[in-house]
Amino acid sequence: MTDLLTIAGRTFRSRLMIGTGKYATFQQMREALEASGAEIVTVAVRRVNLDRKEESLLDYIDLNRYFLLPNTAGCQTAEEAIRTARLARAAGLSDWVKLEVIPADNTLLPDPIATVEAAKTLVAEGFVVLPYTTDDHTVAKRLLDVGCATVMPFGSAIGTGLGLTSPDRLQRIIEVIGGQVPVVVDAGIGAPSDAALAMELGADAVLINTAIARAGDPVQMARAMAVGVEAGRMAYQARRMEKSTVASPSSPTVGRVGDK
Amino acid sequence: MTIVVNGRQRDITAGCTGVKLLEDLDLAAERIAVERNGEVMNRQTFAACTLAAGDVIEIVRFVGGG
């Protein structure tokens, strides 16, 4: 049985989405993408450097194989994010956008109100909107209500690798949103165990950049993350055992050597 | 005449088209997107337009990001 991830009518086999930032070289990024098995790949939108010719990221990403998801990283207001999304769409690859509205306060935590505002406008303009959001379930519900194609709550702040600092809050989002649109845990994942936990909780996918790009061996870590996501997904489908505060032996309590 | 491209002033000849500007900037083969005076344009529309003095142009591309 194939376990497909469906977003806005498009299906994917992989539940691991990968960012393309922070790699030492484009070649290393390409090898990590390959090792991860990811199909959705995020990119940023920036001014072309007119002072010197720079290598093109897209020369290292096979667009027949990977689905490019442009982000609005760096945008601090709804207006900036909408402008960047329009530019991304004008590049002619798709009308999907990973919406990020992040105030300049060094926390890299999203502005949920501006994110909902921007999402509303972009959905009305025909975009498929995948918003980066907080781990607040009411905000997630608002994003669902304005027509977002996913919700993407953080595990912890971008680039920290702290893992899932509030699994109970992610669990609540999954309870409120799950089954309506995919829940993608984005940001903060540091190790495959974090990715596995997100999937065990019932997340539909995870998005990882720094934990792979900044690992000692990014290609090996990309592979490890793919296995972590798969293990977590399988565990979720298998339904884990109930937790108990009382111990229970796994071996027979009768027939012990020397029993009277 | 002078226009502004990505925040920098640039002299162009009168009658310069979008396609000519992209060629001059060595971007003819790049996947880029363009905004002219705040309006996002697809490449074809921009390529065909004749630039005017004082135009503010933004040219963007995809780069690595998360």
Q: Which CATH architecture has domain B2-61?
A: Roll (3.10)
- Stated length of chain A: 260
Contact B64 A43 (CB under 8 A): yes
Where are the extended beta strands (E) located within chain A?
5-7, 10-12, 16-19, 40-47, 67-70, 96-99, 128-133, 152-153, 184-186, 205-208
Where are chain B's structural domains? 2-61
Query: In chain A, positions 97-156, which contact chain B (CB-CB < 8 Å)?
Result: none
Contact A57 B59 (CB under 8 A): no
- Stated length of chain B: 66
Determine the Cα–Cα distance for residues A176 and A158; give it in Å rounded to an integer: 24
Determine the Cα–Cα distance for residues A115 and A78; give it in Å rounded to an integer: 6
Domain for residue A63, yes or no? yes
CA distances to A127, A171, B32 from A121, in Å: 9, 28, 23
Range of the domain at A12: 5-238
The domain total for chain A is 1
CATH assignment of the domain containing A193: 3.20.20.70
Determine the Cα–Cα distance for residues A173 and A167; give it in Å rounded to an integer: 10
Domain for residue A253, yes or no? no
Residues paired with A206 in a beta bridge: A16, A185
Query: Beta-carbon neighbour count of residue A54 at 10 Å?
Result: 11
Domain for residue A259, yes or no? no
Quick one: pLDDT at residue A1?
62
Q: What is the pLDDT along chain B (66 residues), one digit of tens a residue?
A: 999 999 999 999 999 999 999 999 999 888 999 999 999 998 889 999 999 999 999 999 999 999
Residues paired with A104 in a beta bridge: none
Domain for residue A114, yes or no? yes
Judged by a CB distance cut-off of 8 A, whether residue A21 touches chain B is yes
Contact A20 B31 (CB under 8 A): no
Which residue is catalytic, options A98, A120, A243, A260?
Answer: A98
| pLDDT mean for each 10 residues of chain A (260 residues) | 92 97 96 98 96 90 96 97 97 94 92 98 98 97 98 95 96 95 97 98 98 98 98 97 95 93
- Say which of A26, A73, A89 has its CB closest to residue B66: A73
ipTM over 0.90: yes
Is residue A22 part of the annotated active site? The answer reads no
Start-to-end CA span in chain B (Å): 39
Contact A83 B31 (CB under 8 A): no
Quick one: pLDDT at residue A104?
86
Quick one: pLDDT at residue B42?
87
Determine the Cα–Cα distance for residues A161 and A156; give it in Å rounded to an integer: 7
